[in-house]
Structure 1
């Protein structure tokens, strides 16, 4: 079974790229082919996968995080413990914050309308900016 690292993954668009451990061109991956929560598939995360060949080229399927190499908690707020050795959370760019918050809202409150999600996101971003949780 091939292994590699997540090069990038856009949770909003539901697609990304994996760089194979053995080298070669990056391989595409779609959110439907991820095993587990898609928010855990962050750049640098080690994964294993199968390869499926189709009309549009090859893609990674059955993509799984490798044990012991999963990223730290992604939604830790500044001041929360990310793991036993850390004492602070991430400071995100505005784009990263918006993406993370949007995914969290959709997973937590899937019945909200797009307008409600956008309004909630705006208020959360304003709050996060006031606490300097976002890089400007």
Structure 2
């Protein structure tokens, strides 16, 4: 069954998922995620199985279909979102004027750029999610030599 996360509490570790197939929202605990909880946010789309509990439907397993957090990272990196499925354009096709070269940023500049992009793209991210995504992007940038030493 597929549904959209309509409420998420990162502190308490649970979410509610709305599905067209059920009359009520499904409770989802982060322990039942088949993906990193840092990718959870309102608007995340998941596939899940559920069972009826004492208080209503409860997801017992959830896998990621798309996430605003992952989409924000892709946007920050200039790639496609999980929703559009498009392949990234080549630098020439996208009008890139750097001819394959790009600025090397300081760590502080990268952190600022990533944070601003995340907050302007997905405004309901938690601080923990912003830090997790920013850390992953910074690690990747170091591996590729995109940061000053």
Q: TM-score range by the shorter chain?
A: 0.5 to 0.7
d(CA) in 1 for partners of 2:64, 2:125? 21
d(CA) in 1 for partners of 2:25, 2:41? 15
CA RMSD in angstroms comes to 3.6
| Number of residues of Structure 1 aligned to a counterpart in Structure 2 | 101
1:39-118 to 2 correspondence within 5 Å? 39-66=38-65, 69-71=66-68, 73=70, 76=73, 80-81=77-78, 83=80, 84=88, 89-90=117-118, 91=120, 96-101=125-130, 104=132
Which TM-score applies when normalising by structure 1?
A: 0.54
Q: Which has the higher strand share?
A: 1
Q: Which runs of 5+ in 2 are unaligned?
A: 81-87, 90-112, 137-149
The CA deviation at 1:72 is: 5.0
Q: Which runs of 5+ in 1 are unaligned?
A: 109-136
Distance 1:79 1:38, change over 3 A: closer
Contact 1:34 1:63 in 2 (8 A): yes
Which TM-score applies when normalising by structure 2?
A: 0.50
Does residue 1:19 correspond to 2:18, yes or no?
yes
Distance 1:3 1:81, change over 3 A: same
The CA deviation at 1:23 is: 4.7
Structure of larger gyration radius: 2
Q: Which has the higher helix share?
A: 2
